[in-house]
Structure formats: structure tokens, C-alpha cells
Structure 1
Amino acid sequence: MGAQVGGDLPGGPSPTQLAVPLPPPPFVTAPGLANLRDVGGYPIAAQSKGSHAAVKRGVVFRSAELSKVGEEGVAALRELNITHVFDLRSAKEFSHGKDGESFHGHTDRMPTGWEAERVFVPVFLDQDYSPAAMAERFNAYSDGTEGFARAYSTILDAAASPDNAHQPFRTILTHLGSSNPPSPILVHCTAGKDRTGLICAIVLALLGVNDEIIAHEYSLTELGLASRKEEIVQQLIRGEALFGDRPRAERMVSARYETMIATLAMIRQKYGSVESYVVDHCRVSRETVERLRKNLVVNVSDAGGVVD
């Protein structure tokens, strides 16, 4: 498997300050691919005396877009045994050529030599990426924690809209909640931050991971995007929506612990619970949710080993 690397938290409590120990930041090195990490390994509430539960490793991976992945990156990705790549971007995001004036992904093609199946599941349809809609979304991001929560509310609405034939979140959750153990997947958008961050947070919440740990996982994106931060900021400040406004552009690239805490609170206020959003709005059956839990929760002994 590609090398896993760690680092310090960009915000929020340190692992030692949380009620339960956390695994090190589970980044996987794949040259040309930013923000690649395993969403597994995080603890869930104790199931019985002497054992604890955790999210199964090696099933759900997340990353930024794949356009810069070459042979070395493909070799690392193949070691992860990923069979499906769920692409949350809109068609317009990968329609820009490499010389385009957008920071969005450059291609809808899979890296050469990688056999994984690409599944196009856009959160936003083409019309949602008009200049006016983009400017409104960028302005919401720039308002700080509550602005992000408002913007993330629009993502939740778009992902569950009956008008979205792709039903991105339902498609991903259905794969993970299949009758047979699901094969490993990669979920990505452009930076692997907002849309990807939301679906990963939803999965973790459904499995019983607490909010503080979900927010910790979300905040790791600041480490994961460090190598591309300046590139993204420069593209944003050259665009119409945030022209010349570096502080606001930098806030948009952030992935702060507090943002996910506020977002989870918003979901519960708006929908009642994460599961209610998934069942009542994304129209995922409760049976699928239960299978997802069965597929992705493993028992771990106090000694740290997986219990069969």
C-alpha cells in the first residue's frame, strides 16, 4: 500500500485532548494526487467490555481530482484495490482545458493504466455553475464558519434533489450498504474538501463516530491540500467572484474544525438527524443504512487488533 504519513492537526483539539485516541492522519502518498487519505480507523462507541468498535480501514478513500496523476501515482492507487471512483464534480468543472482560467479539475478521464471504474455523480448540475451561482457560493464561504454551513446546506439540498438524476450521495451510500461486502472506493470532487467532506462526514456519522472526531477528520484537508493551496488561491483571486481578495480566497480554501461542528449542528436542526437526511431526503432505505453499518464497523480489542 502507498506510504501513509502523519502530521499535526490544523485546528481543533489535539488527539490527546479528545475522549478517545485517534489514529495518525491517514494520508496515502500517490504522486500527483493531493489530499488522498483513508476514512477508516476512527473509533466508535464501545460495544462491550474489553472491545471497541472502529470504522473499517481500506474501504473508503477520499482525495482531490485526479488530473495530475502519472505512472507513479497510478502504481500507488492500484495497491489500494479501489474498484470505483465516485466523481462529485459537475461537467463544467472538468470541461476546462489545461490552459483554462479555473482551478477546477482538468479532465473526466481516468489516469492511464488504472482499471477502476469512474462513476459520474455530480452534486451540482451544469446550470448550478453559472457565474452568478458561483459568486453567491464563494461569498457564502468567505463569511466564516456560519457562511460555510450555509453553503454546505446548498450542497445537501442539491445532492438530495429529486431533479438530480445522478443522486450522488444515495449512489455512494447504496454501494457501501450493498448485500455483499463493498469493494474499496475513492470519492473526490475538485479539492476533495467540501462535497467530498460532506459525504464522508455523513458516512462517519451514520456509523456512530462522534462529532469531534468527524470534525477532526474534515480538518485534515488543510494538511492534505497544503501542496496545492497557493495554486487554488491564485486561481480564485484571478476570478470574477473573489477578484484580488486574497484573505477571502484563503478562507474559502480552509477546512476548519469549527466549520464541520457547525455543519453537523445545521444538519440536525434542519433535518432532525443525519440519518433522517439520508433516509427521508436522499431516499436511502433504512435496511441499506443498517447494512452499511454492518459492512463498515469492525470490533477492535483493547490491544488494538481486529476481532473476527
Structure 2
Amino acid sequence: MKSLVNFRDIGNIPTVDGRTVKSGFFLRSGEVVNVENTVIDRLLNEYRLRTIVDLRGKKETTERPDDKIVGVDYVNIDILKDVKGQGASFEELLQGSHSADKGMFDLYEELILTKGAKKGYQQFLEMIVSNPENPILFHCFAGKDRTGLAAALILGSLGVSKDLIFKDYLLTNELRKPANQQIIDQLKTQGLTDDQLQEVLVMMNVDQRYLDHSFKIIDQEFGGFEKYVVDELNMSAGFFDEMKNAYTA
């Protein structure tokens, strides 16, 4: 049994118009697998958790299904279903022709541009805005990339500045340190070289340049964040006001 890795509430963050994101409604983490009962009790009693949104793919959810929590709805949205090799092992990824850093830039393009990702994030935002004040926990495997962009979409829609979105995003590197070290130690026993382990560390951490790359694509290809959310994720023109009314104070 274990604690919930990379867990945090993305509430209590100020917005550019002087309001604050309400706490207790948007919880982000890594996978919800073999979690301690004390953690589950906290999710139910302290956070009043109602829904878990799992952003992982079929291979991931089949091999490591989320814990079933009585009274909590489970929704799976495969964000990377249009992307090949999303469930690949570190070893397979290391055999690719590009560096891990290049691979991460490619991933953050795919999170913005692929049809499956856009449909997935559309479903995610529709769930949030149509169930006001319904506490959710959203996650992928590590809770850093698919989840990181999901958090950025929520915070951006609520009027949080990019600087504060980046600040939340980068917390992952601190919160995942123990779990990442466990993975590194395990891969060492499998004979990976120091160079390969460095590449793995790149894959397991976040870098502001990656999320910034997504924002730049949104600006260059779609004319800005709000136009992307309305035109590409098919949110209504009133979406931003509805979000702010429900989730900021």
C-alpha cells in the first residue's frame, strides 16, 4: 500500500482579476493504484471526492487499474489514444531515434494538436463545467504531462496567470522525487547505463519549456488560449464566465 504520488489541490491560487480558485474541487495526482486506506478516507471525508478522471490509455488501465472507491464515480478519458507507443516501457522509449528532451517536446505538441487529445480535453472540461462544485481527482500515470496540461486548462480558464500555472506545474519535480528515485533504482538493477538513466530522468520530470511549448502552439496556431478552448475544444462562449462563477471566489 502507498500514498498518492504527486498529489495536490490546485485551489487557493489567485487569478489575474483579483479572485481566488476555490480549494477542494480540483485534485491532481499520479495513478490511484494500491493507495492506503488512510488516503482514501481523507479523499472522501476531507475533500468529499465524487469523481476520479483517469487520463491514461487502455494498456495502462488494464495492467494497473485504479482502486475502486465506494461512492466515487470513475471516468476514463484516453488523452493519447491517437499517439502510438504511449504505453511503451522506458527501455523501448530509449531505443527511439530522438532524445528524451525532443520526445517531451513532441508529446506536448500532441497534447494540443491530436484529435484524440482535443476530444479528451473537451470531454474533461464539459464534465467540470456541467457539474459545478463537484470535487474531482484527475490523474494519469505520473500525474505530470496529460495531467499537467489538464491542470493548465482548468487554471487558464479560471483566469490564472501563466507564471502561476507554471509554478503549479513545476511542483511535480519536488513531489515525485521519492517515486522517481525508486524507478531509477529499479532500472539500475536491469542494467541501464548512466546515460540511459539520465534520459529516463528527463522523461520523469517536467520542464517549464515543455508546457510553454504547448502555450506557444496555442498562440501561433489558434490565436490564443480562449480561442483554442472555444474553437478547438468546442466550449461555449459563456464557458469562461460559468467556470469563474462556479470555481472562483
| TM more than 0.5 | yes
Q: Which residue of 2 aligns with 1:153?
A: 109
1:108 CA drift (Å): 3.9
Q: Which residue of 2 aligns with 1:110?
A: 68
**Residues 165 and 62 (structure 1), Cα distance of their counterparts in 2 relative to 1, 3 Å cut:** closer
Q: Aligned partners of 1:166 and 1:268: how far apart in 2?
A: 16
**2:125 is aligned with 1:173:** yes
1:259 CA drift (Å): 3.3
**Residues 126 and 209 (structure 1), Cα distance of their counterparts in 2 relative to 1, 3 Å cut:** closer
Contact 2:148 2:169 in 1 (8 A): yes
- Structure 2: stretches of 5+ with no match in the other structure: none
**2:223 is aligned with 1:272:** yes
Q: Which residue of 1 aligns with 2:57?
A: 90
- Comparing 134-143 and 247-256, the one that deviates more: 134-143
Contact 1:222 1:255 in 2 (8 A): yes
* Identical pairs, percent: 27
Q: Aligned partners of 1:137 and 1:84: how far apart in 2?
A: 37
Contact 1:32 1:69 in 2 (8 A): yes
Q: Which residue of 2 aligns with 1:229?
A: 180
**Residues 276 and 126 (structure 1), Cα distance of their counterparts in 2 relative to 1, 3 Å cut:** closer
- The amino acid that maps onto 1:56 is K
Equivalent of 2:34 in 43, 68, 75? 68
Q: Which residue of 2 aligns with 1:254?
A: 205
Contact 2:11 2:24 in 1 (8 A): yes
- The amino acid that maps onto 1:247 is Q
1:265 CA drift (Å): 2.3
Contact 1:42 1:209 in 2 (8 A): yes
Aligned length: 244
Contact 1:32 1:66 in 2 (8 A): no
**2:122 is aligned with 1:122:** no
Contact 1:32 1:70 in 2 (8 A): yes
Equivalent of 2:168 in 217, 222, 237? 217
- The amino acid that maps onto 1:128 is K
Q: Aligned partners of 1:291 and 1:255: how far apart in 2?
A: 30
- Structure 1: stretches of 5+ with no match in the other structure: 1-29, 47-51, 97-105, 299-308
Contact 1:141 1:151 in 2 (8 A): no
Contact 2:112 2:214 in 1 (8 A): no
1:62 CA drift (Å): 0.2
Q: Which residue of 2 aligns with 1:184?
A: 135
Equivalent of 1:40 in 4, 7, 11? 11
- The amino acid that maps onto 1:42 is I
Q: What SS class does the counterpart of residue 16 from structure 2 fall into?
A: strand
1:214-270 deviations in Å (ceiling 9; x for gaps): 11110000112112012334567789x999701111111112334333432232122
Equivalent of 1:53 in 15, 19, 40? 19
1:122-155 deviations in Å (ceiling 9; x for gaps): 11228733759x73997767226xx533321112
Q: What SS class does the counterpart of residue 42 from structure 2 fall into?
A: helix
**Residues 247 and 36 (structure 1), Cα distance of their counterparts in 2 relative to 1, 3 Å cut:** same
1:165 CA drift (Å): 10
TM-score with structure 1 setting the length: 0.69
1:39 CA drift (Å): 0.9
Contact 1:66 1:110 in 2 (8 A): no
**Residues 43 and 289 (structure 1), Cα distance of their counterparts in 2 relative to 1, 3 Å cut:** same
**Residues 150 and 230 (structure 1), Cα distance of their counterparts in 2 relative to 1, 3 Å cut:** same
Q: What SS class does the counterpart of residue 108 from structure 2 fall into?
A: helix
1:170 CA drift (Å): 1.4
Structure 1 outlier segments of 4+, above 4 Å:
136-141, 234-239, 241-244
Which has the larger share of strand?
Answer: 1
